Amino acid sequence: MIPSVNSAITALQAYKSKMRVTANNIANVNTDEFKKDSAILREGTNGGVQVNVQRVNTPGIRYKAFEGDRLSEIESSNVNLEEEIPEMMVTQRAYEANLKVLQTQNKMLGSVLDIMG
């Protein structure tokens, strides 16, 4: 496979995974004791992109609430929307940029084939 195409395809897959992790974090922002995940991108083999998903075990905010007739201490999720939403926007733009690379590569290869044909 052409290296630039391989890099763009693996990047698209990695950003898709990163978006899935962020979406799951946002969906569980109000779930008590939920621990968010973090998707970390790194260079893979042959110039590709790999994603490592790791659990973030920082504690959420603790608060007291009644459960029936008993007062209990509950830990909220450790998801911070002020971090997650901008991260999702950056991930979306990176995905779009890599998609544009593939579209441009496709046009270039089409032009080369037209010239040779």
The pLDDT confidence band at residue 44, using thresholds 50, 70 and 90, is confident
Phi, psi torsion values for 58, nearest 5 degrees: -65, 145
Q: Domains in the chain: how many in total? A: 1
Query: In this prediction, what percent of the chain has a pLDDT beyond 70?
Result: 97
Q: Decide if 44 is inside a domain.
A: yes
User: Higher confidence at residue 84 or residue 48?
Assistant: 84
Predicted pLDDT of residue 16: 96
Q: Decide if 76 is inside a domain.
A: yes
The C-alpha atoms of residue 117 and residue 114 are separated, in whole angstroms, by 5
Q: Decide if 14 is inside a domain.
A: yes
Average per-residue pLDDT for the chain: 91
106: CB partners within 8 A, 6+ apart: none
Q: Decide if 116 is inside a domain.
A: no
The pLDDT confidence band at residue 1, using thresholds 50, 70 and 90, is low
Residue 35: its H or E element: none
- For residues 16-42, average pLDDT: 96
Q: Decide if 117 is inside a domain.
A: no
Q: Decide if 57 is inside a domain.
A: yes
Residue 14: its H or E element: helix 3-27
Name the residue range of residue 93's domain: 3-111
Predicted pLDDT of residue 24: 97
The C-alpha atoms of residue 64 and residue 53 are separated, in whole angstroms, by 31
Task: Tell me the per-residue pLDDT of 69-114, one tens digit each, with 9 for 90 and over.
Answer: 899 999 999 999 999 999 999 999 999 999 999 999 889 888 888 8
Q: Decide if 104 is inside a domain.
A: yes
User: Higher confidence at residue 12 or residue 6?
Assistant: 12
Q: Decide if 55 is inside a domain.
A: yes
Whole-structure pTM over 0.85, yes or no? no
Predicted pLDDT of residue 13: 95
